[in-house]
Each structure stands twice: as C-alpha cells, then as structure tokens.
C-alpha cells in the first residue's frame, strides 16, 4: 500500500521521493531571512521562485520562533500571512502550510487556502490547533520543542533526547487524535534546535532512524536549514555560510528516514534529496 499524507482536499505520495518544503517567512525578525519578505509582493515573488526550484510545499510563517523572538499578537500574524496565502493559493499548484501555534491564525490561514498547519509546539501552547485542523481536514505537523522562544536555551538538557522526543511526540499525537485529527493527516518533526544542546541536535540527526521506526504510521519531517548547530560545527560560520552544512544534514536525514525536509535553499535541497533517493533506490 502506498504511503500517503492526507491534507485538505488531496493526498501527497511519500514513496516516490523525499518531499521538499520551502520556507517563506513574512516576519521582520526570523534568524535567517527576517525582513526580506515582509512585503507581500516580495513574498509572492519568492514563493514562485521556490516552486520553480522544485519545492513540493510552501510553509508560510508570520511569527519568528527563534530564541528570544518577540511574541506577535494574533491579529498582526494574520495580517502578515493571510494576504500572501490568499494570493498564492490561487496561483500555485503546490500545497501551502501555515507555521503557527495559534488556533485563530490557523483557522484564518486554512480559510484562505492553506492545507497544512505546522505547529512548532506540537499542541503544547494551545491544543485547540488540533480542533481547527480536524475541522478542515488539514494536515498537521507536530514538532517537538522544549519551553518557548524566551526560555528554550535556558533549560537544562534532558539526559535522553531521543527518548524525550519520542515520548513527547506520542503525547501530542494522542491529543491530536482524541480531537479528531485523522492519523493519515499527522506528520512528526523532532524539532532540531528547539531546546536542545549542540550535541543533542547532532545526535537526533544521527539517530533519526530510531525516531522514524518509533512512528512508522506517521511521516517524518526535519528542519535543519541554516541552524546554529551547523554554524558551530564550522567554528561560528554565519547564516550565509551554512549551505553545505545544511545539505550534509539533509542527506543524512533522508538516509535515516526523513520523508520531508524543510529548507530555505530549495534548489540545493531538491538536488541533494534526488541524488540520495537515486542511491538508496539501488539498495538490495
């Protein structure tokens, strides 16, 4: 039976190739591309570029989740994402995801044409996000994280990060399914960078197969793009010099079971996963 991800109005096949989700931040303060696409016209143009480079999905966020980010009121977040989603939903053939932890923002985005909700709190901040996704039949991405933007890097590390991720995501899945989100609509994400140490981020990528096997009924997404753990591996490399490190982590993640990779640099990621998929297809 083919592996599928059910999102609002369609099914995405996961057996053919690793899906690439392109990141579009319409924020003034995201760590990598803050303020670049805050204007709707620039955001629309960039989304078309990501699709032209091969993105299978576009993830649009109106609130930065970087450490220390300033919280955004829901009405401001809606004003940032909804006009972009409304236009892109009419122009693009690929599904649109909204990156939010707020039910009211998720509902506005889904009503405007989005098909997926990407919740970086995995329902910890507000479990009513699951109600919104269930009502719309939308895809729901549950990402593991610890704390919030203001506290995540001040938390003491857990002794077993792989076990913590698996346990926490199982709890989030249970909440989602109890609130009528269909199993076939849920994706899990280990949450690279969100309340983890440098060593734990590397460990999660290295041990991703263990997480994939713990969630055989759920597609696995991972987002390593341009993150600070890559900069530390390269002795403090800035965001603009983390492309090759990102693609190395993408390749390892795909080899270890990732079904979806979330990236800023779509063309490089598409070429990376295509090559990895071609190699793994020759396994006997």
Cα angle value 72/75/81 (rounded, 5°): 85
Q: Pick from 281, 234, 283, 273: which is nearest to 250 by CA?
A: 273
d(CA 201, CA 191): 9
Per the DSSP assignment, residues forming a β-bridge with 220 are 188
DSSP states of 150-175 as a string?
TTGGGSPPPS-HHHHHHHHHHHHHHH
Looking only at the bridges linking them, the beta strands covering 57-61 and 186-189 are: unpaired
Residues that are catalytic = 227, 262
The Cα 238–Cα 227 span in angstroms is 10
Rounded Cα–Cα distance for residues 72 and 100 (Å): 11
In three state form, how does the secondary structure of 105-148 look? HHHHHHHCCCCEEEECCCCCCCCHHHHHHHHHCCEEEEECCCCC
Helix (H, G, I), strand (E, B) or coil at 86: helix
Measured CA to CA, the distance from residue 101 to residue 127 in angstroms comes to 9
Report CA Rg, the chain.
17
């Amino acid at each position: 039976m083919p592996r599928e991800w059910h999102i609002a109005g369609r099914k995405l096949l996961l057996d053919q190739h690793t899906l690439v989700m392109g990141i579009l931040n319409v924020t003034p303060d995201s760590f990598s591309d803050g303020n670049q696409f805050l204007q709707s016209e620039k955001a629309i143009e960039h989304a078309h570029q990501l699709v032209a480079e091969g993105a299978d999905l576009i993830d649009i966020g109106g609130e930065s989740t970087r450490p220390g980010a300033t919280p955004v009121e829901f009405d401001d977040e809606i004003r940032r994402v909804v006009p972009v989603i409304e236009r892109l939903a009419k122009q693009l053939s690929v599904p649109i995801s909204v990156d939010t932890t707020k039910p009211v923002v998720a509902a506005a985005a889904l009503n405007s044409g989005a098909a997926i909700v990407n919740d970086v709190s995995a329902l910890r901040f507000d479990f009513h996000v699951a109600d919104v996704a269930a009502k719309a039949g939308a895809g729901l991405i549950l990402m593991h994280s610890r704390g919030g933007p203001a506290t995540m890097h001040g938390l003491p590390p857990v002794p077993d990060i792989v076990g913590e991720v698996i346990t926490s995501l199982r709890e989030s899945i249970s909440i989602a399914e109890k609130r009528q989100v269909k199993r076939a609509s849920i994706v899990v994400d280990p949450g690279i960078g969100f309340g983890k140490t440098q060593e734990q981020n590397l460990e999660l990528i290295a041990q991703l197969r263990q997480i994939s096997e713990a969630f055989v009924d759920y597609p696995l997404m991972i987002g390593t793009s341009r993150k600070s753990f890559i900069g530390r591996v390269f002795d403090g490399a800035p965001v603009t010099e983390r492309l090759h490190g990102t693609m190395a982590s993408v390749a390892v993640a795909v080899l270890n079971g990732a079904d979806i990779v979330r990236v800023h640099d779509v063309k490089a990621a598409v070429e990376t996963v295509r090559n990895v998929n071609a190699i793994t297809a020759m396994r006997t």
